[in-house]
Homo-oligomer: A and B are copies of this chain.
Amino acid sequence: MTGQSKPLVISVPEPRTLDLIFTPGQKQVLFDRYEVVETGASGVAALPNHILARAKYILGQPPISEQTLEKLGQLRCVLNVESNLIDNMPYERLFQRGIYVLTTGAVFAEPVAELGLGLALDLFRGITNGDNDFRHGKERWGGEGNASARLLSGAEVGIIGFGDLGRALNRLLSGFRAKIKVFDPWLPASLLADNNVTPASLEEVLSQSDVVFVVASVTTENEGFLGGESFRSMRKGAAFVLLSRADVVDFEALMAAVVKGHIVAASDVFPEEPLASDHPVRELKGFLRSAHRAGALDIAFKRMGDMVLEDMNLMDRGLPPMRCKRAERETVSRMRSRPVDKN
């Protein structure tokens, strides 16, 4: 294969970098297989017409105007190496032309699920508090320190949202013999049953669980859908673990429920990030804090590179992509999580 005949990739992965998402070996594969034209997000429109005309893939989600898109005559796929979709390209026209728009957010499912399980076990057993007491010579030994300790094995577990992350969590829980109820209005009941979880209403999930994991993405429709009444409906002493986006929750109401001692909670996401240094959640007892660290593991970013290479390889061979998630006409406009400005 001569250089000329290699498929052309326009690389604009910012805010990611190629070195973040590819191991050295994978990056070598990328450059061996493809002609890679690197530019900044604003630079795509300025690329020479003969480059645009030959581009088969775009790595990243730079702004693309209708006009530029017309020049991208061979474009097969936009691989946006993020979880979200910015409204900066004419999606409808892309879909008409059969150009795939792929997101790689699935790489975060496993890391986030593991942290979520860790947070839940911590809330159930007081791991962080126990260690702090121990450091300060105030630890209580044996059963005396376990007044509120609970088992996850056999517990009733609620999951709100059953995308990649909900499924990863369900998989991690498979050794716990938990009774898992799931609320996800976007999924048919039979698909939930196939995953051995019980479809349930939001009310059932909240009021009948020992721990509730929130892994639903923010959409135009569910902002702040978990508020004061939601938390009040939970079991006394139950645990609430927030893993997806802070915007699905009325954060003040969540804190109030914890202050009252009705529930305990853990969260990886916050209304503003970084958070004001005097935000009251910083000292809130019964609340476990994680600074949006659930997904951003090096191993997850490197899996993005894997996924991208696997799917481009499939498309090179005339097959549809299978690893990344495809943007859908129906949902592209509903998804509104903010772009990341930090990896």
Contacts and interface: CB of A to CB of B under 8 A. Distances in A.
Given A134-B289, A143-B298, A128 B127 contact: yes
A44 to B, nearest CB: 24
Contact of A128 (B97, B111, B131, B173): B131
B177 A175 contact: no
Stoichiometry (number of copies): 4
Nearest to A328: B320
Nearest to A289: B134
B330 A288 contact: no
B297 A149 contact: yes
Task: Say what secondary structure dominates the interface of chain A.
Answer: helix
Given A175-B173, A330-B320, A343 B121 contact: no
B130 A313 contact: no
Given A96-B96, A175-B172, A291 B122 contact: no
Interface of A: 95-98, 110-111, 114-115, 117-119, 121-122, 124-128, 130-135, 137, 139-146, 149-153, 171-177, 186-191, 196, 273-274, 277, 282-283, 288-293, 296-299, 301, 306-307, 310-311, 313-314, 318-320, 322-323, 328-331, 340, 342-343
